[in-house]
Structure 1
Amino acid sequence: MNIRDLNVFFAVVETKHLTKASKLLYMTPQGISKVIKNLENECDCELFIRTSSGMELSECGKCFFEYAQKAKSDYHNMRNEMLRIKQKEHGVVDLLSAFGILRLVTPECLLDFKRRYPEIDFYHRECPDKQVERWFLSGEGNVAFSLAPCDEKLYDVSELASFPVKLLVNKKHPLSKKSSVLIQDLEGEPLYIESREFKIHDMIVDKCREAGFEPNIMFETSGFSLCHKMVRENKGISVTVDFVSDDMGHEDMALIPFSDGIYEWKICMLTRKNEVIGNGVDIFQRHVKEWLDKIQIGSITR
C-alpha cells in the first residue's frame, strides 16, 4: 500500500460510497473498488461492511483506520521536514493552483520565474478550488492559489485580484437585453455551471436558495469551456468573470452584471500559518505580485 491508497480508503470512509468517493478523487468507481480490494487482500480481512445505507467500517476496518491516520500524519510530517531541509539547502516552490487562476497570472509569469531563478526548484499542479485546499491542508505543496473565502485561521492569505461574477447568456436570449440581472432571473433557466468542487458553484446555488428557489442545473462540469459552448449554442445560461470570457471569445454572447448583491471571484495566494515558507516561496510571492502589478499598469499584456 502507499499514501494514495490510504487517501482512497479515507475518501470511502468519509463518503460511505464508492461512487461518491470516485467523484471526490476524480477516479472511476472501479478504480476505487480495486484499491479497497487490494488493501483488504494485503490485510487479509474485510475493511468494510456493505449495507443498504452504504459502506461501514468493519472491526478490522476501524483498527486499520486508526493506524492509517497515524501513518498519514507521519508521512506528511516527514514530507514537511524534508521540504524544510531542502528549502534551507536551496529554494523550493511547490505550487497548487485552482483552475482558471493561471489564466490571470499567466503561464509566462511562471516561465519568467523559472528563467530568473533557475536555482529554485519549481513544481505546479492545477485542480478545482476545493481540491487545492484539501491537498494544501493535508500537507501537499508549500504555496497555493485559491479563491475566497479562505480560512484565515489556517492560512496567511494575500489577495491578488478580484472580479465580479456575471451572468453569461447568448445574445438571442431575452436576458441579454437587460443592463443588469437579479438572482431571481435565473429561476427556471437551464444552467450550466462548474461542479461542486468549485466555490463559484456554491456561491450561485446559495444565492438561489436565499431567493427561495432551486437552480435548474442542467450539467455540472470541471471545465468552463463546456459551459461556454452550451451558452454559445443558446442551450442555457452560465456564470463567469470577464477575463475568462474574453479568453474564450464571446462575440455572440453577453455578460450581464448582478445588481442584487456581491458576486465576487476573489483570487488569493495562501501559505500555511506557523510554517516557515523558505526563501524560494518568499521570492515567488513577490514575483507574482510584481507581475500582476505590471499587467495592471499595462507594461505586460496578459
Structure 2
Amino acid sequence: MDIKQLYYFTAVAQAGSYSKAAESLAVSQPTLSVTVKKLEEELGVQLFYAFNREQHLTDEGLRLWTKAKQILDLYQETLDDMKTTNKNSSGKFTLGLSPLFGACFFGDLIPNFSMEYPNIEIKMIEDGAYRIDQRIERGEVDIAVTLNSKRLSSFAYCHFSTQRNVALLHKSHPLAKEPSVTVSQLRDDSFAIFNQDFILHEQIVDACHAAGFRPKFALLSSQWDFMVELVSKNHAVSILPKPVLDKHPDPNVCCVPMSDSMKYWDIVLAWNKDKYMPKACALFLDYCKHHLPPDDL
C-alpha cells in the first residue's frame, strides 16, 4: 500500500463514482479501477460495493477511509514542513563572530533576523577571527564572520562588507592632520593592536615587515576600547576599522585613512564546504545577503 493508492481510494470514496474520481484526478478510469483493485487484493478485503449506480464503502472500506484521511493529512503536513521557508521556520545554528564585527554590524542585523524568524535559535561563539577560522575548519560553527585572508581558500564564503582601515593617532601626533598615512610612516611609534587571536594582528605585523621594520608593541589585547584608550592618552598608535571609531568617537583621537596594503578591511561570511549547513543557517545566510552594510571604498 502506498500514498498513491490511498489518494485514489479516497477520491473514489468522496466522489462515489470511479468516473467522477478519475475526472478529478485527471487519470483514466481503467487506471483508477486497477489501482483500487490492487489495493483490495493487497489488503484481502472488498472496499466498495455498487448500489444505485454509486460506489459505497464496505465496513472494511469505512475503516480504511478513517485511517487514510489521517495518513494523507500527516503526509501533506510533512511535505509542507519540509518545504517551508516562511516565518514559521524553526531550527538552530552556530554563528562564529568576533566581538568587533558584532559591535560594528550585527547590533541590528541579528535582532531583526530573530524578529522575522522567531523560532530560529542562534548560538553565538565569540572569538578573534584567527580562532574563528580554526573553528570553521574543525566544523564547530555552521557559519562565521571573518576576514578575507589566505585561509579562505579552504572554505566556502561570500562577500559581506569592505571597510576602510584607519590609523588611530593622538590629536598631537605629527601625522594627525595628514590626509592619509602608510604603515611605514608609523615605524617609530609603539602599537596598541589586537593580539595573536585576531587576523588583523597578523595583517598589521606582515605589513610592518613588508615595510622593512619590526613593530614595537605597547599593547596586545582583545579589547578595541583598551587600544583606543592608550591612543587617547598618547601612549601608542593603533590601526582599526573605521566603523569602530564611527560608533565610538574619542575627542583626543584622530582617524587617518591608511593608503597602503592596510587600506581595506575585507569581511566575509564563511563556512566549511564539507559540512552540512542547517536550513536555519541557510536562511540566515540569505537574510545577510539581502541586508549587507554599504561598502566604504
- The TM-score normalised by the length of structure 2 is 0.65
Paired residue total: 207
**8 Å CA contact retained: 1:158, 1:270:** yes
**8 Å CA contact retained: 2:181, 2:257:** yes
Q: Deviations over 1:135-162 (max 9, x none)?
A: 2212212111111115344211111001
State the 1:253 CA deviation. 1.8
Residue 176 of structure 1 is matched in structure 2 by 176
Residue 283 of structure 1 is matched in structure 2 by 283
Q: Deviations over 1:199-250 (max 9, x none)?
A: 1111111111112111111110111111100111111111111110112213
Rounded to whole Å, the distance in 1 between the matches of 2:116 and 2:146 is: 25
Range that drifts further, 274-283 or 158-167: 274-283
Structure 1 216/97 Cα, relative in aligned 2: closer, same or farther at 3 Å? same
Gaps of 5+ in 2: 1-88
Q: Deviations over 1:2-46 (max 9, x none)?
A: xxxxxxxxxxxxxxxxxxxxxxxxxxxxxxxxxxxxxxxxxxxxx
Residue 51 of structure 1 is matched in structure 2 by none
State the 1:163 CA deviation. 1.2
Rounded to whole Å, the distance in 1 between the matches of 2:152 and 2:242 is: 27
Residue 123 of structure 2 is matched in structure 1 by 123
Residue 205 of structure 1 is matched in structure 2 by 205
The 5 A counterparts of 1:19-168 are 90-149=90-149, 151-168=151-168
Structure 1 213/150 Cα, relative in aligned 2: closer, same or farther at 3 Å? closer
**8 Å CA contact retained: 2:142, 2:277:** yes
Tell me the secondary structure at the aligned position of residue 270 of structure 1. Answer: strand
State the 1:177 CA deviation. 2.5
Residue 225 of structure 1 is matched in structure 2 by 225
State the 1:270 CA deviation. 1.0
State the one-letter code of the partner of 1:214: R
Identity %: 22
Q: Deviations over 1:52-100 (max 9, x none)?
A: xxxxxxxxxxxxxxxxxxxxxxxxxxxxxxxxxxxxx953221111231
Residue 265 of structure 1 is matched in structure 2 by 265
**TM superposition outliers: structure 1 runs of 4+ over 4 Å:** none
Q: Say what the alpha-carbon RMSD is for the aligned residues.
A: 2.0
Tell me the secondary structure at the aligned position of residue 103 of structure 2. Answer: helix
Residue 196 of structure 2 is matched in structure 1 by 196
Rounded to whole Å, the distance in 2 between the matches of 1:270 and 1:184 is: 32
1:245 aligned onto 2:245 = yes
Rounded to whole Å, the distance in 2 between the matches of 1:262 and 1:216 is: 17
Rounded to whole Å, the distance in 2 between the matches of 1:244 and 1:262 is: 16
Rounded to whole Å, the distance in 2 between the matches of 1:221 and 1:179 is: 28
Q: Deviations over 1:94-116 (max 9, x none)?
A: 11112311123222221222222
Rounded to whole Å, the distance in 2 between the matches of 1:230 and 1:241 is: 16
Tell me the secondary structure at the aligned position of residue 217 of structure 2. Answer: strand
Structure 1 259/105 Cα, relative in aligned 2: closer, same or farther at 3 Å? closer
Structure 1 140/117 Cα, relative in aligned 2: closer, same or farther at 3 Å? same
State the 1:254 CA deviation. 1.3
State the 1:120 CA deviation. 2.0
State the 1:275 CA deviation. 2.8
Larger radius of gyration: 2
Rounded to whole Å, the distance in 2 between the matches of 1:263 and 1:213 is: 18
State the one-letter code of the partner of 1:165: N
Structure 1 134/260 Cα, relative in aligned 2: closer, same or farther at 3 Å? closer
Tell me the secondary structure at the aligned position of residue 156 of structure 2. Answer: strand
Rounded to whole Å, the distance in 2 between the matches of 1:278 and 1:106 is: 21
Rounded to whole Å, the distance in 1 between the matches of 2:211 and 2:107 is: 39
**8 Å CA contact retained: 1:144, 1:269:** yes
Tell me the secondary structure at the aligned position of residue 161 of structure 1. Answer: strand
State the 1:296 CA deviation. 3.6
